[in-house]
A = this chain, B = another copy of it.
Amino acid sequence: MNICSYTLEEFIERVQSLHGFAAPGVVIGGLMVDLAKQHLPEEGLFNAVSETAKCLPDAIQLLTSCTVGNGWLTVINIGRYALTLYEKSSGGGIRVFLDPAKVEAWPEIKNWLFKLKPKKEQNLELLMKQIKEAGARICGIQHVTVALHLLEKKHRGDIVQCPRCNEAYPGDDGEICLACQGEYPYIVSEIPDIRGASHAGEESSC
Contact = CB atoms under 8 A, between A and B. Distances in A.
In the complex, the count of this chain's copies comes to: 2
Contacts of A3: 204
Interface string A2-43: 111100000000000011100101100100011101111010
Contact of A206 (B4, B99, B190): B4
A108 interface: no
A178 interface: yes
Contacts of A169: 78-80
A156 B38 CA distance: 33
A68 B79 contact: no
Interface in A167-206: 167-170, 173, 177-179, 183-195, 197-202, 204-206
Contacts of A139: 195, 198
Nearest to A92: B188
Interface of A: 1-5, 18-20, 23, 25-26, 29, 33-35, 37-40, 42, 49, 51, 53-59, 61, 63, 65, 67-72, 74-76, 78-82, 84, 91, 95, 97-101, 113-115, 134-137, 139-147, 150-151, 156, 158-161, 165-170, 173, 177-179, 183-195, 197-202, 204-206
9 nearest A-B pairs in the assembled complex, by CB-CB distance = A135-B200, A58-B69, A37-B206, A78-B178, A57-B69, A144-B186, A145-B187, A145-B188, A79-B170
Given A29-B69, A74-B185, A142-B193, 18 more contacts: A5-B204, A18-B67, A34-B204, A37-B205, A38-B198, A42-B206, A58-B69, A61-B67, A78-B178, A80-B168, A80-B169, A95-B189, A99-B167, A100-B168, A134-B200, A135-B200, A144-B189, A146-B186
